Structure formats: structure tokens, C-alpha cells
């Protein structure tokens, strides 16, 4: 089996050109095959404001009505994706920018309306691992924006953490996969106000304990749920770390928080 690193980048790193370039330089230098899933940072909100499109967030999740779907498609699948691809080309990393609709790589369905109507938000159904492997065999590095598609010709806004986890799981059937979540924190923190309080390792029991104590909360919970789901479904290794520590995280240099079963 080949070694493959699936990296998700998000948070404030996307919004900071210097931080993004440092991250992409490290990503381009990773050994073996690699794949990048990215979020959109605050750029979609900024573009929406310029276009007069209202942004509504509920519990940190974006409500995606039709005007907002148009914005996130333009920003995630266009502006952010192609800026990342262009930067990787200058770093001798031959990247190909994709959404889930391209080459049918990520199929989803519109989230059913419950207590909250999230609009055109996609819950994942299927990852076309064979097509992604085809790109990798051509020495291309897929850079995937968090836009999926349905079977009715529609596009859907999809959580990037969830997309990275699902892609990693499907590719783990064929390759030895390391999944790395990168953002602006040094890992999972025991004290969210103290960036030096990195928890070096988490398993399901300690994760539950930290949640019960309130140390792990808000947006970190769905991120960790996705991470543990990947670990439970064939991904060999999962790390959550600062974007500047990507290289050390992949090579086992003790960076960030490593998840264990």
C-alpha cells in the first residue's frame, strides 16, 4: 500500500496570505502522495457583504440559501481554490483544483430540514476514491473545495472537516492514510485560552472526559467527531495541529494532538 497524506486546512490561515504561504510550502514538501481539502475562511462572508447577501450563522454553521450558495461556490470553488492551486504551482507541486462535482468525486444529498433549515447544505453519500486515485497516479495533487453535488444537478455547501474525513476513509481502503487537520491553534487545548496547553494525545475516553469538563467545546467537537470517525474506519493516523507544524505532525515529530483508538 502507498502512503498518502490527506490534509485539511481552515481557520484563520486561509485569511492570512503569509500564514497560507508557509503552510503551502510545508504541504508541497511532504513526502509521498498528498491531497488537500480547504475551507473558505472569512472570505465568503466578506464577498457576501460586498454583494449585499446576508450571512446567517447558527452554532457556527453557515445557513446556505440560494444567494449564499452562489457566493460560497464562487469563493470556495473559484477564488480560494485557484489561489491555492496557483501558489502550489510556484512551489513545484503540480496541483489540480476540484470541487466534489468535478469528476463526480463527492456525492451528497441536501440535509433534511429539522429544527434548523440549513438550506443548500450537503450531507455526504459517496466518495469516488477511484477517480481521486487516478489523479494521484498522474502525479497530480488534488486540491478540493468543500462543494459537493447531488444527482439532480445541484451544488451543495459541505463541511470541509467532514469532507476530509470521508475522503480519507475511502482512500484508506487502498492506501495507508494519515489525516491531518491544520488550523491556527497548536492542537486540541486543555485550556482554550492557553495556546501552550496542547493535549498531546486523545482517545475516546479522555475525549469524553474533556468534553464533560467543558475544556473541549463548540467547534472543536464536530472536528474531533469527524477525526475519530476516520480513525474508526481505516485511517491509520489522525493529527490535529497548527498549520506551521504540518511537517512535524506528518513525520511524527510530536506536534499537535494525536488521536488513538
The response to whether 157 counts as a known ligand-binding position is yes
How would DSSP label each residue in 165-200? HHHHHHHTTTSEEEEEEEESSSSSBSSTT-TT-B-S
DSSP, collapsed to helix, strand or coil, labels residue 91 as coil
DSSP secondary structure code for residue 75 in this structure: I
C-alpha 148/C-alpha 81 separation (Å) is 14
The response to whether 114 counts as a known ligand-binding position is no
The response to whether 226 counts as a known ligand-binding position is no
3-state class percentages of the chain: helix first, strand second, coil last, to nearest 5: 40, 25, 35
> How many CB atoms sit inside 10 A of residue 206's CB?
13
The H or E element that residue 110 is part of is strand 106-110
The response to whether 41 counts as a known ligand-binding position is yes
- Asked if 167 and 237 touch (Cβ cutoff 8 Å), the reply is no
Q: Where are the alpha helices (DSSP H) in the chain?
A: 17-28, 43-51, 66-72, 81-90, 129-137, 160-171, 204-213, 220-232, 246-250
Annotated binding-site ranges for substrate: 40-41, 62, 157
Q: Which residues are annotated as a binding site?
A: 40-41, 62, 157
Amino acid at each position: 500500500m502507498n502512503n498518502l497524506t490527506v490534509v485539511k486546512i481552515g481557520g484563520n490561515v486561509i485569511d492570512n496570505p503569509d500564514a497560507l504561504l508557509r503552510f503551502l510550502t510545508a504541504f508541497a514538501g511532504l513526502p509521498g502522495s498528498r491531497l488537500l481539502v480547504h475551507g473558505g475562511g472569512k472570505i465568503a462572508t466578506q464577498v457576501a457583504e460586498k454583494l449585499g447577501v446576508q450571512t446567517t450563522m447558527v452554532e457556527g454553521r453557515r445557513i446556505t440559501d440560494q444567494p449564499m450558495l452562489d457566493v460560497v461556490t464562487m469563493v470556495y470553488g473559484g477564488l480560494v481554490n485557484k489561489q491555492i492551486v496557483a501558489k502550489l504551482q510556484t512551489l513545484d507541486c503540480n496541483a489540480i483544483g476540484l470541487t466534489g462535482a468535478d469528476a463526480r468525486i463527492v456525492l451528497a444529498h441536501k440535509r433534511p430540514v429539522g429544527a434548523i433549515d440549513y438550506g443548500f447544505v450537503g450531507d455526504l453519500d459517496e466518495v469516488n476514491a477511484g477517480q481521486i486515485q487516478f489523479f494521484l497516479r498522474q502525479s497530480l495533487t488534488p486540491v478540493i473545495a468543500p462543494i459537493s453535488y447531488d444527482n439532480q444537478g445541484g451544488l451543495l455547501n459541505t463541511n470541509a472537516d467532514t469532507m476530509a474525513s470521508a475522503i480519507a476513509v475511502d482512500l484508506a481502503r487502498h492506501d495507508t492514510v494519515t489525516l491531518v487537520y491544520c488550523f491556527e491553534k497548536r492542537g486540541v487545548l486543555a485550556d482554550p485560552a492557553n495556546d501552550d496547553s496542547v493535549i498531546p494525545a486523545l482517545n475516546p475516553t479522555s475525549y469524553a472526559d474533556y468534553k464533560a469538563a467543558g475544556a473541549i467545546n463548540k467547534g472543536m467537537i464536530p472536528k474531533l467527531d469527524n477525526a475519530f470517525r476516520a480513525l474508526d474506519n481505516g485511517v491509520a493516523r489522525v493529527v490535529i495541529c497548527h498549520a506551521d507544524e504540518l511537517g512535524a505532525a506528518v513525520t511524527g515529530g510530536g506536534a499537535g494532538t494525536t488521536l488513538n483508538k
